[in-house]
Amino acid sequence: MQRLLGELLDPASYRLERVDIDADAALKREYNELVPVLKLDQTELCRYFLDLNAVQQALAGYNNVVEP
User: What pLDDT, on a 0 to 100 scale, did the predictor assign at position 48?
Assistant: 94
In a domain, 65, yes or no: no
**C-beta atoms surrounding 39 within 10 Å:** 13
In a domain, 33, yes or no: yes
In a domain, 10, yes or no: yes
Domain that holds residue 39: 2-60
What is the distance between the alpha carbons of residues 61 and 56, in angstroms, rounded to a whole number? 9
What is the distance between the alpha carbons of residues 66 and 68, in angstroms, rounded to a whole number? 6
In a domain, 13, yes or no: yes
User: What pLDDT, on a 0 to 100 scale, did the predictor assign at position 15?
Assistant: 84
In a domain, 39, yes or no: yes
In a domain, 66, yes or no: no
pLDDT band at 12 (very low <50, low <70, confident <90, very high): confident
In a domain, 67, yes or no: no
Q: What is the pLDDT of residues 23-68, one digit of tens each?
A: 999 999 999 999 999 998 889 999 999 998 998 888 887 665 555 5
Of residues 17, 16, 13, 18, the one with CA closest to residue 63: 13
pTM: 0.76
Question: Can you list the alpha helix ranges (DSSP code H) found in 1-68?
Answer: 2-8, 25-31, 52-60
Domain count, the chain: 1
